[in-house]
Amino acid sequence: MIKVGIVGYGNLGRGAALAVKRSEDMECVGIFTRRDPEKISPETGDKTYPVSELKNFKGKIDVLLLCGGSATDLPETSAGYLKDFNTVDTFDTHAKIPEYLKKLDATAKENGTLGAISIGWDPGVFSLSRLLFGSVLPNGKDYTFWGKGVSQGHSDAIRRIKGVKDAVQFTVPIEDAVNSVRRGENPELSAAQKHLRECFVVAEDDADRAEIEKAIKEMPNYFADYNVTVTFVSEEELKEKRGKLPHGGFVIRSGETSDSTSMLLELSLKLDSNPEFTGSVLAAYARAVAKMAKEGKTGAITAFDIPFRYLSPLSYEEQVKTLL
Amino acid sequence: MIKVGIVGYGNLGRGAALAVKRSEDMECVGIFTRRDPEKISPETGDKTYPVSELKNFKGKIDVLLLCGGSATDLPETSAGYLKDFNTVDTFDTHAKIPEYLKKLDATAKENGTLGAISIGWDPGVFSLSRLLFGSVLPNGKDYTFWGKGVSQGHSDAIRRIKGVKDAVQFTVPIEDAVNSVRRGENPELSAAQKHLRECFVVAEDDADRAEIEKAIKEMPNYFADYNVTVTFVSEEELKEKRGKLPHGGFVIRSGETSDSTSMLLELSLKLDSNPEFTGSVLAAYARAVAKMAKEGKTGAITAFDIPFRYLSPLSYEEQVKTLL
């Protein structure tokens, strides 16, 4: 049994705990939280501890799943965890990944541990597709579309507007753009030409709805360049729309192997719950990290370094026989 | 520069030569053939040699791409090549892969070489998707659909019927079946419930067309269990239909991460030319084998053993920066 610890119990931590629970070759040693552990009752029945107790678990956990956020949690804490544990995280601040990787690699090598960074679906499964597709079809162009799904960052930005009680923002791929790519037309597309932003907002009773709509549509970086719709809804309607935080998207590579011989490679994900799927990917990579660490591998690595054979609970022989 | 040799110059060898030509970090040292090399003029301008001269190239080729067939060529010859060279092949007789892998692994380890087997799109890219999808979504079911595309085996089977001058068989995914899977209905489907077989036949002038149609539709294993259409066409029409041997398909995994939280993962390929794409995949794996061999790796391996970082001509830093 692979012994897993989970740090953080937000949406992602909850998804990771569910995934570990459903993995027959893993057990969750504990969920470690900065909140009062008494006040958390995981539906998986896992034990909860204050994160300060983690130090007592050195040697008793094969892999820690770091389920904090990329903005501050991971950059501030993951090197610390990596001193005592093998880790898997979802660090997704793209511009800072090289620096983060370098820093963790040094820590891990010093301490003889192994950390897999930027695991999930993007970065993660989508990154793997971009790398594979580009390698097997070098002469081409690739496109990543996100959605239809909830963007937490954009939802948060709306919630900060005065008069907004709650909000959820869906990123929606523009169908004409997707179809043009699928037809192999290789269009030049900005992020705004690929995606719509649909906003659902619960306003305070006395709020000026026209003002809120204007504030959203003119918000720089987040909305100003995009085609945006704003719909005011009740709290009940919002809850239903938000669901379990659905998401997904496509990676499409279109290219040719010789003149006018076209190829189209596409990966698509349709996820009822972004955090549950991300948690499930983390669990598979926890398995890989546990196995690779056992073989003596140390340092910080990405999905690009990990052969798929390590991800599966099946023996290699079984994989070759049934999946190759 | 990675020095590549190509053994065999059928459709696949031609596709591999095109792919190597288009790879800036590779050069083709030569195409080795059992035919008269004087009679082959590769459009890539590569030199051709009788396969018997290969022994003179030991130490001058980093990787050999074995472009022979799986029925007899590869099982009879690949262990021999592996004694002197690193290799990549497309062995696709699924039932015999474990035995083939074991045999080549022993040869490669004895001789300090590295051989990647069963590379291409199925086995290959599709196998990777099945393994990844099953690992990150363990609670689910997966489906492989092939087509729309030309099945060489089935086309050959039709050509052996008396009165048939030429023929091409398209394997076509049944849309209702694909849609049911995409809706997450997890249907139980036999190969025949997933695929139609469309046959285009050029008959000899004096042939009995009704007899040919009957012979096709009643042929055991190949057609008897399937929904089959037979259309008689002119040689010109057949040539156009055959094109550059288009193919493709989908790997779809449908499952859930918790009760009634569904996920749908799909990889799809749409290929104008099956041999050109397969050749292009071989070239990427030649790069990986060359790099891994240089690092000292020996034995026979599959796509499941190869981290994607080795497939790309980009440096790891560049991969992390631009694709992760």
Q: What is the pLDDT of residues B277-297, one digit of tens each?
A: 999 999 999 999 999 999 999
Residue B168, burial from CB neighbour count under 10 angstroms (0-12, 13-18, 19+): buried
Mean pLDDT of the B309-316 span = 98
Q: Residue B295: phi, psi to the nearest 5?
A: -80, 0
Give the pLDDT of residue B70.
86
- The domain of A264 spans 125-273
Q: What is the CATH number of the domain that holds A263?
A: 3.30.360.10
Mean pLDDT of the B199-205 span: 97
A152, containing H or E segment = helix A152-159
pLDDT of residue A291: 98
B140 and B83 within one domain: no
- Tokens read off for B8: 């065999």
For A222, A253, B18, B70, B151, the CA distances from B270, given in Å and listed in that order, are 35, 11, 19, 23, 15
* ipTM entry: 0.97
- pLDDT value for A72: 87
Residues of B with CB below 8 A from A127's CB? 323-324
Residues B213 and B100 in one domain: no
Q: Distance (Å, rounded) from C-alpha A319 to C-alpha A135?
A: 24
Q: How far apart are CA A224 and CA A217, in angstroms?
A: 6
**Residue that has been written with the tokens 């820590």 in this structure:** A107
Omega before A37 cis (within 30°)?
no
For residues B245 and B307, state if they share a domain.
no
Closest CA to B140 of B258, B304, B238, B30: B258
CA distance B310 to B316: 9
Q: Is A45 on the interface with B (CB under 8 A)?
A: no
Tens digit of each residue's pLDDT (9 = 90 or more) over B37-51: 999 999 999 999 999
Q: Report how many helices (DSSP H) and strands (DSSP E) chain A contains, helices first.
A: 11, 14
Q: Give the total residue count for chain A.
A: 324
Q: DSSP letter for A204, please.
A: P
SS3 A212: helix
- What residues of chain A lie within 8 A of the CB of B316, using their CB? 304
Instruction: Output the pLDDT for position B282.
Output: 98
**What gap in Å lies between CA B324 and CA B309, rounded to an integer?**
11
Q: Are residues A214 and A117 in the same domain?
A: no
A144 & A169 share domain: yes
Say how many Å lie between the first and final Cα of chain A, rounded. Answer: 26
Burial category of B51 from C-beta neighbours within 10 Å (exposed 0-12, middle 13-18, buried 19 and up): middle
| pLDDT tens, residue order, chain A (324 aa) | 999 999 999 999 999 999 999 999 999 999 999 999 999 999 999 999 999 999 999 999 999 999 998 888 999 999 999 999 999 999 999 899 999 999 999 999 999 999 999 999 999 999 999 999 999 999 999 999 999 999 988 999 999 999 999 999 999 999 999 999 999 999 999 989 999 999 999 999 999 999 999 999 999 989 999 999 999 999 999 999 999 999 999 999 999 999 989 999 999 999 999 999 999 999 999 999 999 999 999 999 999 999 999 999 999 999 999 999
Q: Which of B234, B254, B273 is the last residue of a domain?
A: B273
Residue in A128, A261, A320 closest to B273 by CB: A261
Q: Same structural domain for residues B263 and B129?
A: yes
Contacts of A123 in chain B (CB under 8 A): 324
> Bridge-partner residues for A143, per DSSP?
A252
> Which tens digits make up the pLDDT trace of B133-175?
999 999 999 999 999 999 988 999 999 999 999 999 999 999 9
Same domain for B136 and B224, yes or no, is: yes
* Sheet-wide strand order for B247-258: A140-146, A247-258, A261-271, B261-271, B247-258, B140-146
Q: Does the distance separating the beta carbons of B138 and A308 come in below 8 Å? A: no
Interface test with A, best of B135, B285, B322 (most A CBs within 10 A): B135
How many helices and strands, by DSSP H and E, does chain B display?
11, 14
Using an 8 Å CB-CB cutoff, list chain A residues near B306. 307
Which residues have a Cβ under 8 Å from the Cβ of B247 and sit 6 or more positions away? B146, B147, B148, B149, B150, B269, B271, B274, B277
Do residues B44 and B64 both lie within one domain? yes
The residues, any chain, with a CB within 8 Å of residue A209's CB and separated by 6 or more, are A203, A232
**Residues 97-136 (B) with a CB less than 8 A from some CB of A:** 97-98, 101, 118, 123, 125, 127-132, 134-136
| pLDDT at residue A156, rounded to an integer | 92
How far is C-alpha B283 from the chain's CA centre? 13
| DSSP letter assigned to residue A94 | G
Give the integer Cα–Cα distance in Å for B291 and B297. Answer: 9
**Residue B114 β-bridge partners:** B299
Cβ–Cβ gap A277/B18 under 8 Å? no
CA distance B217 to A16: 51
Indicate which CATH number applies to the domain containing A58: 3.40.50.720
* CA separation for the pair B156, A317 (Å, rounded): 32
- Which amino acid, one-letter code, is at B143? Y
Smallest Cα distance from A195 to chain B, Å: 20
pLDDT of residue B12: 96
Task: Find the farthest-apart pair of alpha carbons in chain B and give their distance in angstroms, rounded.
Answer: 66
Which of B273, B295, B314 is a domain's end point? B273
A vs B: CB pairs below 8 A? 206
pLDDT value at residue B72 = 87
Q: Distance of CA A128 to CAs A134, A135, A191, A300, B250, Å? A: 10, 11, 21, 17, 17
| Contact check, Cβ <8 Å, A138/B270 | no
Residues A85-141 pLDDT 10s: 999 999 999 899 999 999 999 999 999 999 999 999 999 999 999 999 999 999 999
Instruction: Tell me, yes or no, whether A232 and A135 share the same domain.
Output: yes
- B21 and A CB contact within 8 Å: no
- pLDDT interval class at B221 (50, 70, 90): confident
**Residues B192 and B241 placed together within one structural domain of the fold:** yes
Question: Does one domain contain both B118 and B150?
Answer: no
Q: In the predicted model, is pLDDT for residue B251 greater than 90?
A: yes
CA separation, residue B205 to residues A101, B165, B175, B208 (Å): 69, 9, 35, 9
Domain count for chain B, please give it.
Answer: 2
Q: Which of B125, B262, B272 sits opposite A136 (nearest CB)?
A: B125
Which residues 216-275 of B are in CB contact (within 8 Å) with A?
244, 256-258, 261-273
**What average pLDDT score do residues B192-198 get?**
96
Instruction: Give how far A207 is from chain B: nearest CA, Å.
Output: 35
CA geometry: angle B5, B8, B12, nearest 5 deg: 95
A108 lies in the same domain as A209: no
- Tokens in use for B171? 């394997």
